[in-house]
Every structure is written in structure tokens, then in C-alpha cells.
Structure 1
Amino acid sequence: MRAQRGPVPWSAVLRGALASVPLLVSVIAGQPTAGVPAALGAMLAGINDRPGSRRASVARLGLPALAGSAGLLGGTMLAAAVGGGRSLIVLPLVFGLMGLVAGAVSSTGPVASACGTQVLVAFVIGAGMPLPEPGPLRALLFLAGAVWLLVLRLVLPSPGRLGSGPYRLDGEREAVAAVYEAVAGLLRAVGSPQARPGRAALSAALDQAQDALSGPRLRRYSSSGAERRLHAQYAAALPLAEAATALAWAGVRLPGRAVEGPRLLAASVRTGAPCGPLPAPARTDAGLRALDDALLRAAAVFDRPPWAPPGRRDGSSSLSVPGRAWSAAGREYGLRVAVCCVTSTVVAQWLHHDHWYWMPATTVFLVKPDLGPLASRVACRAVGTVTGAAVFGVLAMLVSGPFPLVAAVALCGALIPVATRHFAVQTAVVTTLVLSLVLLGGEPPASLRRVVESLLACTTVLIVGHLPLPGRRGHSVRAALDTAVGAAHRYLSHVLDSPEDRTGRGALRRDAYRSLAVARTAIDLSAAELPTVARHSAGSEGVAGAVERLIDTTTACAVQLDHPAGGLPPSHAELLAAHLSELERAWAVPSR
């Protein structure tokens, strides 16, 4: 129920407001209904417009837009086939099959989740929303609205940028700088209760930088010098992160000068200026020696001319393998999406509401597990819908004509990047936007119906979400833990068998910590559910804790094996054995 915090993303706010330009053009041209699909495409793309690199946004916004466009076309064709978009048999059956497939695909990753949601929502809207434009044109307009927002994301520079490099790399530059800041934060927290949160923050920063730098480079030579330099700076941060993790594991507080080096490197990444002299820590043990060596290598990378080759990349391109769509977790989620779609469609068709498609479209959003625990997101949806409908009701009484509605859509588009931090606020903003589009599409105001059908959808999802459907609950948590345990064992085996292979070690370390973060997120989500759901993942926190201690100890052992004396101290070997036994005991609890 808590809202996410952070600075206001002014660039995203500007893009959200400008996303209404296609709608404004269609209203000026006297074709307001043509702007409705474009505005829907821009709205859904705006929800996916999260902080990150411009290049990563091509997949994050573009692939869901393509899926949504295909869904809108398919829904329109289905409505024409069944006649007027009304059928108590065909529509629920088709929506159920679509929900089963889209739900299973959504379980494989964040981009796949956005694609599955958009294709299903657009399919439902295409089948139920009465617009005069033919299906192919609707699909093209939907895609055009999303592409317009994507173009804004790629073209507009970031406000208040500090660096002198190309603005197209602002997201990548900030992500890499955040890694060095996180290293400094962890070094500052060594020996204090903040060390564990600091290590988690470092892992999250590394994940974000890894995502920001993923994908093909625009060019291999010439103008891509700044890009190659960022890849090299990220690779140089990985040994620093390893040394900082080993020092945090040892728990001996460090002098303040040990923190200054990573902070200077972070400032250099942001501004493009030289990092200057870096304070060297004392080389009194393996961890401090590894920190000093990593700072020396980083200084060499930062002093290298931009056109020089970046050298060996220490696992910076490693990415976790996405889950399989038809896994146990995918089947569980897909089945619940299908049941929700079928139930809500049958109820909406039976009630003969003019906006019957609102119910199944609402359930698709509500059933998504990555929007928070089920009970809280249902409560947020109900409160947000009532608030948004009330705001639109006041707006409809005070103004008339299409241009105030376009202004309302632009204002809502600008608010979406901030509203996504809390599901109730996002629902209120989206409700106001959707009701404005309904009025622009030639339909009468429908604030009260929007509230009624959203509450019915909330009830449907709340009931279906707690039904004892076939199969065991908690598949997503168990699948995430399976992945994390396997990644931890692969990392440990590599450290013990090939301690000299730092490149492979860095890739496996990133995979282990990233898998652990995914498992932690799944566990926290399950623990916040109502007891009937939360009990299925009891004991999972103990497994995650055991995995975390094993990975941290493995990292400390890797640093120790780099020591010139070589060999693993008996104390480290005993701890490894103890953590392996602890993990085996903890894993036996949720597996029963």
C-alpha cells in the first residue's frame, strides 16, 4: 500500500503530455474517434515508460505496442464475426484461451508481461469498443500513438543533464554512475547494520546497469567511442563490487578514504571529467588488496582515451535466462487469467451493459501479480476508480466540447509517470483519461457505470485469486528459488574449480545475485498476500537467506583465492560447508 519514492521524472512527464498530440490533431481534423486508438496506444506505452536507457526503451515500449496492435485487430475481427460483439459462448471461450496463453507468456519476464497484458487488453477493447474506423485502421492508429511516444523517448534530451557526451546515452551513463555510488554506499556501511541493505542496493544497481547496457551497439567504431567507454567503465565496476561484497562479509569497518575512490569514479561517469587521483586503501588483507587492485584497474580504464579498445569485458553482457512460458508458474498464472476473463465476460454480457468490455479489461490489469499483493491492488483499484470517476464527473459538468477533453487527456498523460508509483493513484489518472476518451469517441458519459463494472471486476478477481484451482499454489516462488539455488551452486563450483577465470566468475556472480533478487521479490509479494495464499510459500524466506549467505561467502572465497598466497583458508571452507548444509535443510522445508 506504500507509494514508491524518488525524484519527479520531468522528461517522462513532458513526454506524457506531448503524447496527446495525435489526439489533438484528429480533433482539429474533425475526426476525434480516430484519435482514440492512438491515445490508448500512447497511454499504455506511457505506463511502460520507466527510467532506463533509450535503447532499452525500444523493446520495453515497442514490443508491447506491436502486441497491443495485433490484439486490437484480432478483437475487432472477432466482434465482426460474432455480430455486434455480443455472445455468451464465443467471446468468453476466446477470451479464456487468450488469457491462458497471454498469462503464461507474461510469467517469463517484464517485457513479456507487458506484451501479454497489452495484447489481451487491446483484444478485449477491439471486441467491445464501438468505433467507426475499420479494424486495420484502428490497429495502425494504436501503433502510431505508441510509436509517437517512443520517438519522443528517443529524441528528446534529458532535462538538466550534466555530462558532455551524447544525450542518447544519458540513461546508460546514470545507470553506470549509480553502480559506483552503490559501491561507495556499501563500503561506508561495512561493519554496520546497513551493510546488508547496502549489498542489496548494489545488486539492484548492477542489474539496472546491466539492462541499460544490453542490446546491440549502434556502431562498432568511430562515434561509438562513448558507448564503448561506458561498457568498459561498467566492467571496471564489477571487481569493485566483488571486493566491496567481500569486505562487507568480513564486517570490519573501513576508513573514510576507502569510500572516496568509488564516489570520484561515479562523478567522472556523470560529467565525463577526469576522475583525478584516487585515495588508495591500505593493503592489509585480501579484501582491501582486492579493493586497491580494482581501483587501479578502474583508474586505468577511466584514463584510457575514448577511441581506445575497451579491453576484456568482465561478464557485463550476462543476462538471466527468462523463464519458460509453460512452466508450473506460467500455467498457474495463465489459468487464473483465463478464469478471470471468462467469468467477467460472462457476467458483463449477461448484464447487457453498453461498456461490457470494461470488466474483462479491468480484470486483466487486476490479476497481474507484479502490481502488488492481490488484496491491496483490488482495494487500490476500487478507491482509484471511484476517485477518477468523481474527478471526471466534475469535469464533465464544468466544461463542454472536445478541446477540454483533449486537455484532460494531456494532463493525465503527464501525470502517469508519477502516478505509476502507487496503483490507486495510477487507477484514478487512467480512469479519468479513459472516460475522456469514451466521450471523445461519441459515447455518453459513463462515470457511474465505470465504477460499477470496476467494482464487479474487483470482486471477480478477489474471488478467483483465492480459489483452489488445480495444481499447487506458490509455483512462482518455488521457481524463483530453484533458479537462485542453481545459480548459487554454479557460482560456487566455478570459484572452486576455476578461480583464475575472473570473466566467467563475474558473469556467474551477477547471475547468482540477480536470481536471488528475483526470488526475494517473489517471496515478499507472496508474504504480503492474505493468509490463504501466503501460507503456500511458508519457509521460503529461510531458503533465500541461506542462498544469500552462501553467495556472499563464495564471493569472499573468490577474493581470498586471488590472494598471492593462494589456497582457501580452513575457516572459509568450514563456512562454505556450513552454508551448504544450512541451504539443504532450509530447502527441505518448502519442498515438502
Structure 2
Amino acid sequence: MSVLPPLPPLPLWLAHALRAQRGPVPWSAVTRGALAAGPLLLAAVVAGRPSVGVVAAVAAMLAGINDRPGGRRVSVKRIGVPAVAGAVGMVVGTAAGAGLGAVWLVAVFTGLGLVAGGVSAVGPVASAAGTQLLVGSAVGAGMPLPEPGWARAVAFLAGAGWLLALRVALPSPGSFGAGAGDYRFDGERAAVAAVYDAVAALLDAVGTGHATARRAALTAALDQAQDVLAGPRLRRYASSAAERRLHAQYAAALPLAEAATALAWAGDAVSARAAEGPRRLAAAVRGTTHTGPLPAPCRSVPALRALDDALLHAAEAFDQADGGDLHTRRRSVRELARTVFGGGGREYGARVALSFGASGGVALGLFHAHWYGQHTHWYWLPATAVFLVKPDLGPLASRVLCRAAGTVLGALLFAALAAVLPNPAGLIALVAVSGALIPVATRHFAAQTAVVTVLVLALVMVGGEPQASVSRIGETLLACAIVLVVGHLPMPGRRGGTVRARLTAAGRAAYAYLTHVMDQPDDRARRWTLRRDAYRALAEARNAIALAAAELPALARHTEGADRVAVLLERLVDTTTACAVHLDDTGRLTPRHAERLTGLLAELAGLTDLPGTVGLPGPDRRTLSA
């Protein structure tokens, strides 16, 4: 019997398009989604102002996309900042659409795209704000609404504000059970507990092939907890004993993470007893209980002694509830400007500007040529291009495939439902159901697109326009073509600006961490802050490299070799962490530590083809040999 040869692996760009996130259903977010867009639209229709309800529902839909797991108060920034940007875009777009001709309107779109694209390079919240600024400007310029710009902006803020109010006020399932603690901080507790679980998982993997992946998972858990604890407060300092305790518990995890990383670097397996303490700490965080006795690991090597000391410190910190402010991630104005105007910001801003401006110009040309017929929603084309051009949602080819497939599926599904559902009652119910599905659909871009397509088409019909499934498909395919062309256009300077900018930031952070450990090993608080910055910058660089590698070959080739730089930087930061733990215990480095450091620095200095580390100041080699 002949055996068939194994199938060749899928190309990365296609594999990414087929990949979906996994996890439990976020029932709290599903409930908020059901209570957001649909009820707002129903209230507006009953009041005889369906156009106001449409704008509010669109804002609630966009807020629902940004309604991700985490703390309640960090959601104020995650949902509120983009909503304000969307309201500004609504005012600007309404004024431009009413007072400017087509040519000047395209120029305004291009300028807004340039600004929004550059700002989007700062981070996820800035990226969401840039997206809603552009979507709001397109909707404001093109949607035929009787309300003036300021009224549209108020309706937009009301829609997003309603979902945000639900996010802050509604308790999660099980929030009032025994030992649940203050339900307002359930997201923060889950994030901090996940850090201790990640420390335990890394200790279990020490000496195995899984240690590198577990260390990356620990970095991700620390990043998540850092973001969650950095939400706005009612006062300058922690507003309650529960919050202060969470800050203390997060701060106590930093030396544990450091010790676990040093053990993973050494590569010598440790007993299962070493991971039991962090697991008990995780359970204490989740249940808001006392830690109880913590099993002490043996103290045979410096890293194990550091782990034991960190466990003792954690047990004390859990009771004292005084965590300082180590979680805060501060960025100077200079750093932000470097990100916006650097290579990544300039390249992304130029592509967003070209995509948004070109799609707006094509849409207006088709509109004035009466291609739309009885439809007046030309603004769909530039609004669709905004989402397609965003690298946050995956590689370009993956985004285009998922957007096209999701739109076709959603439009056909809506056409079938619109034929049997009454207007407006049935369509309003469909909006509510779609809002509830968004938190689940965000795990895959095609699924999210399908749900959003159904919701938007239902809003269009409730607003008084005819069924527009066919038009929606045509505009989406046209937007896909425009963004594909723009994405492959040559730009001034070297391609891969985002990857290079992330690698440069990671290199600076790694060398700053190493220099501090060599020069000021006793300043542990500053050391842990720099260590967090280094690992976080590396994680961001890794994400950018993975996205770039999954592009079509014509684009992926521009960042070949970047993963090698990232691997070397990760080894450098891991080695620096091991050095810090050893210096705490003995005051000197072993020949193994010094040789590893000098070898890594030499390898990084020899990489002249990619700027991620070249030209960055390293520590004095005499310090390493001391």
C-alpha cells in the first residue's frame, strides 16, 4: 500500500488568514454588546430620530470592537480615547463635506490619513483612535443626516459612552461569590494572578525545550498586568485598599519573574516544589485570601536563593499592601515624537494617507458619475480602506482575504434575513444580536467583518435607505484592490520601517538595562523597571517581525534577518537578568556570564545590515571582565 507524501506547509500569509484566537466565550462582553447598539437604536426610533440612533449605534459598535478583556478603568482609555477621536472626525468630516468640493475633500482625507497613520504607530490605543478619527470623518462627510456636525459628535460620544458605562458598572458573572472581593477590580486580579501562574509555568519548564516559550508567555502576562494596572484613578494615588494591594502583588511578582528567568537561563532543572509557591500566590490573588505557608525551594545556587527571597518578600507584600508605582510605563514627549516621525510612523502614515485619500477620490468620482444609483453611501469605500490598511489586524494579504470573505458572507446573510424580517423591529433585533456577537467575532478578522457587515447593513435600512448588500460587496472588493496596490507601492527610504523602529527601540532598551545592571546593581527598583521596558520592547518587535514575515514574498523580503536580531537581543536581556541575580548574591560575575555577554555584544555589533542594534552604545567591556 503506497503512502501519500505529506502535504507542503501553507504559505505564512495564507496560514495567518486561517488562524483564529481561542479561549472561553467572554459572556460579560456579549451581554454588553447586546445592551449597546440595539437598545440605543430602538430608543432613537421610538423618539422619532432614527438618524441619531444610527450614529450612536455605529459608535457603540466601534466601542464594542475595543471592549477587550482587562480592568474596568483601563477600558476608560481603551474605549474613551478612540471615541473622542471619532467624534472629532465626525465634526471635521461634516464641515469638510458641506463646505468643500470633491478635490479639497480628498485633500482633507489625505491629510487626516497622514496624521492618523503616524499617530497609530504609538500603540494600540493610538491606533484605535486614528481609525475612529478617519471613520468618523468619512461618515460625517458622506452620510446624509439632518443633524449638524456637533449633534452628530454628541450622538457618537453617547453611543460609545453608553457601552463604556456598561463596562464600568456591570459586574462580571460570579463577582459576588464567596471570596470574590471587590468586583470593580476583577480584571486586575485576573491579570496579576496570571503573572504568578506564568512564573510557575516557567519554573516547571526550566531545563526543557519549553523554557523559551514560557518566558515569552511570562512577558506577555507582565505586559497585560502592567497595562491593566495603569488605568485612570479617582485620585493621584491608589483609590482603595484593594487597589493598593493589587499594586503590591504586582510589584512582588517582579523579583520572582527575575529569579525564574535566571533559572531558565542557567538551564538546570529545578524541583516541582519551586513552582508551588507562585501557584499559591496566584490562588491568593484570585481569591483575595492570605497566602498561607509557602514551600521554600532549596538554596543551592544564587538564582534559587533569589527565588526563595522573592517568595518571602511576596508573602510580606501581600499583607502590607504597599506596592509603590513600578507598574507605570512612562514615555517622554521625545520618545513619542520619535515613534510618530520615525521610519515606522512615516511609512505607515504615508500608506494610510494614500489609501484613505485614493479611496475617497474614487468613491466621490463614482458618486458624481451616478454609479451608486439610488444609494448615497459613497463613504463606505474610504471607511473600509481604513480597516484594510491597518497592520494591527494582520498582514496585508490576510486582511484583504478575510475582509473580502467576511463581507461576502455577511452581505449574503443579511440579504436573506432582510427578506423575512420586519422593518424596523426585526432589523433592530438583528443589530442587538450582531452587537452581542462582536466580542466573539473579534477573534478572527473575517468573522468580525461578517458580523459588522450585517450590523451596518441593518443600520442603513433602519435609517431609511434601501437594501444595499450588492453595493457593499462591490465597494469592499474595490477597497481591497486599492489597499493592495498602495501596500506594494515603493516608498522613499528602506521598507520595513515598523520592524526597524521596533528593533531599534528594543536595542536601546536592552542596552539601557545592561548598562544599569553593570553600573548600579544595587538599584533594584530601577532595574526591574528597565527590565520590564526591555522585555516589552522585545515583545513588540517580535510581533512586528511575525506580521512582516507573514506578508506576501514581495513585502516579506524587506525584513529578512530581523528575527535573528530579535533572538540575539532576547538572549542579551536574559543573560543580563542572570547577571543581575548573580551580582545580588556574590557581587561578581562568573567567567560564563562575562563570556556570554561579550559574545552576544560582538554578534550584535557585527550585524550591519539591519539597524536594530547597530551604533547603540554598549557597556564598557572592562566592566564585564571585572
Quickly name the TM-score band, shorter chain normalised. Answer: over 0.9
Distance 2:466 2:200 in 1: 57
| One-letter amino acid matched to 1:198 | R
Aligned match of 2:318 in 272, 287, 302? 302
2:465 maps to amino acid: E
Which 10-residue stretch deviates more, 182-191 or 214-223?
A: 214-223
Deviations 1:376-409 (A, max 9, x none): 1100000000000011101111112211111111
From the superposition, tell whether residues 590 and 301 of structure 1 become closer, same or farther in structure 2 (CA, over 3 Å): closer
Contact 1:366 1:377 in 2 (8 A): yes
Of 491, 495, 498, the match for 1:473? 495
Residue in structure 2 matching 1:336, options 344, 348, 351: 351
Task: Say yes or no: does 1:578 pair with 2:599.
Answer: yes
- Aligned-residue offset at 1:88: 3.8
Give the 3-state SS of the residue equivalent to 1:509 in structure 2.
Answer: helix
SS in 1 for 2:501: helix
Give the structure 1 partner of residue 198 of structure 2. 182
- Does residue 569 of structure 1 match 2:580? no
Match for residue 467 of structure 2? 445
**1:261 pairs with 2:291:** no
Once the 2 structures are TM-superposed, how far is the Cα of residue 491 of structure 1 from its aligned partner? 0.5
Deviation at 1:590, TM superposition (A): 5.8
Alpha-carbon distance between aligned partners in 2 of 1:575 and 1:543, rounded to the nearest angstrom: 16
Gap runs ≥5 in structure 2: 1-16, 615-626
In structure 1, the partner of 2:69 is 51
Matches of 2:448 and 2:236, distance apart in 1: 41
User: Once the two structures are superposed, what CA deviation does each residue of 1:474-512 show, in whole Å capped at 9, x if it has no partner?
Assistant: 111001000101111010111011111100100000000
Q: 2:87 — aligned with what?
A: 69
Q: Matches of residues 374-385 of structure 1 in structure 2 within 5 Å?
A: 374-385=396-407
Tell me, yes or no, if the aligned pair for 1:344 and 1:363 is still in contact at 8 Å.
yes
Written as runs of structure 1 = structure 2, the 5 A alignment for 1:329-408 is 329-352=344-367, 353=372, 354-408=376-430
Aligned residue type for 1:178: A
Answer whether contact 1:499 1:561 (CA < 8 A) is retained: yes
TM-score, normalised relative to structure 2 = 0.91
| Equivalent position amino acid for 1:345 in 2 | G
Equivalent position amino acid for 1:33 in 2:
S
In the aligned structure 2, how far is the partner of 1:462 from the partner of 1:447?
23
Matched, 1:318 2:329: yes
Which amino acid is the alignment partner of residue 579 of structure 1?
L
Aligned to 1:276: 292
What does 1:66-465 align with in structure 2 at a 5 Å threshold?
A: 66-82=84-100, 87-161=101-175, 163-219=179-235, 224-304=240-320, 310=322, 312=324, 315-319=326-330, 322=336, 324-352=339-367, 353=372, 354-465=376-487
- Determine the C-alpha separation between the residues in 1 that align with 2:489 and 2:237: 57
CA 199–587 in structure 1, closer or farther in 2 if over 3 Å, else same: farther
Query: Deviation of residue 207 (structure 1)?
Result: 0.6
Change (3 A) 1:518 1:226: same
Distance (whole Å) between structure 1 residues aligned to residue 430 and residue 595 of structure 2: 64
Q: Does the aligned pair in 2 maintain the 1:244–1:291 contact within 8 Å? A: yes
* Cα offset, 1:170, TM superposition: 0.9
Q: d(CA) in 2 for partners of 1:509 and 1:222?
A: 24
Deviation at 1:566, TM superposition (A): 2.1
Q: Could you tell me how far 1:31 is from its partner in structure 2?
A: 2.3
Match for residue 13 of structure 1?
30
CA-CA distance at 1:469 after TM superposition: 2.4
Distance 1:348 1:217 in 2: 44
Which of the numbers 35, 47, 58 marks the counterpart of 1:40? Answer: 58
- Which amino acid letter does the alignment assign opposite residue 515 of structure 1? A
Change (3 A) 1:464 1:76: same
User: 1:403-454, CA deviations, whole angstroms, 9 ceiling, x for partnerless residues?
Assistant: 1111111111111111111000000000000000101111111000000010
Match for residue 11 of structure 2? Answer: none
Q: Judging changes above 3 Å, is the alpha-carbon distance between structure 1 residues 172 and 587 closer, same or farther for their aligned structure 2 residues?
A: farther
Judge conservation of contact 1:186–1:202 (CA < 8 Å) in 2.
Answer: yes
How far apart, CA to CA, are the structure 1 residues paired with 2:588 and 2:64?
53
Mapped partners of 2:432, 2:354: distance in 1: 35
- The range that moved more, 550-559 or 159-168, is 159-168
> Matches of 2:120 and 2:524 in 1, distance apart?
34
Output the amino acid matched with 2:601: L
Change (3 A) 1:222 1:90: closer
Match of 1:506 among 511, 528, 534: 528
2:578 corresponds to which of 540, 553, 556? 556
CA distance in 2, matches of 1:121, 1:330: 19
Greater displacement, 211-220 / 49-58: 211-220
Taking the aligned partners of 1:38 and 1:247, their CA distance within structure 2 comes to 53
Q: Distance in 2 between matches of 1:131 and 1:317?
A: 43
| 2:511 is the alignment partner of 1:493 | no
Aligned partners of 1:539 and 1:586 also within 8 Å: no
SS of residue paired to 1:586: coil
Q: Comparing 582-591 with 352-361, which one deviates more in the overlay? A: 582-591
Contact 1:121 1:364 in 2 (8 A): yes
Residue by residue, what CA displacement relative to the aligned partner does 1:44-79 show, whole Å, maximum 9, x if unpaired? 111111111111111111111111011111111112
The amino acid across from 2:257 in the alignment is A
In 1, the alpha carbon distance for the partners of 2:408 and 2:515 equals 55
The one-letter amino acid paired with 1:14 is T
8 Å CA contact 1:13–1:414 kept in 2: the answer is yes
Cα 1:418–1:243 change in 2 (3 A) is same
Residues 5 and 326 from structure 1, CA distance in 2 versus in 1: closer, same or farther, beyond 3 angstroms? same
Residues 265 and 275 in structure 1, CA contact (< 8 A), matched pair in contact too: yes
AA in 1 matched with 2:356 = C
The alpha-carbon distance between structure 1 residues 587 and 55, as it changes in their structure 2 partners (threshold 3 A), is farther
Supply the AA of the counterpart residue of 1:130: P
Matched-pair contact (CA < 8 Å) for 2:30–2:439: yes
**In 2: Cα distance, 1:243 partner to 1:131 partner:** 60
What secondary structure, in the 3-state scheme, does the structure 1 residue paired with 2:607 have? helix
Q: What is the rounded CA distance, in whole Å, between the counterparts of 1:58 and 1:193 in structure 2?
A: 40
Give the conservation status (yes or no) of the 8 Å contact 1:359–1:457: yes
SS of residue matched to 1:394: helix
Structure 1: segments with no counterpart, 5+ residues: none
Match of 2:346, as an amino acid? R
Q: Give a deviation string over 1:227-256, Cα, whole Å, max 9, x none.
A: 101000100000000000000011111111
1:80, distance to aligned residue in structure 2 (A): 1.5
- Letter of the 1:47 counterpart: I
Instruction: Give the AA of the match of 2:27.
Output: W
Give CA-to-partner distance per residue, 1:343-365, whole Å, 9 cap, x none: 21222122222321111110011
In the alignment, does 2:42 pair up with 1:24? yes
Greater shift in the superposed pair: 293-302 or 261-270: 293-302
1:519-564: per-residue Cα shift (whole Å, max 9, x none)? 000100100001111111111011000000000000000000011x
CA distance in 2, matches of 1:588, 1:74: 43
Contact 1:319 1:511 survives alignment (8 Å): no
Normalization by structure 1: what TM-score? Answer: 0.96
1:134, distance to aligned residue in structure 2 (A): 2.2
User: How far apart in 1 are the matches of 2:120 and 2:523?
Assistant: 36
2:611, 2:235 → 1: CA distance? 49
Cα distance in 1 for partners of 2:452, 2:323 equals 48
| Superposition RMSD in Å | 1.6
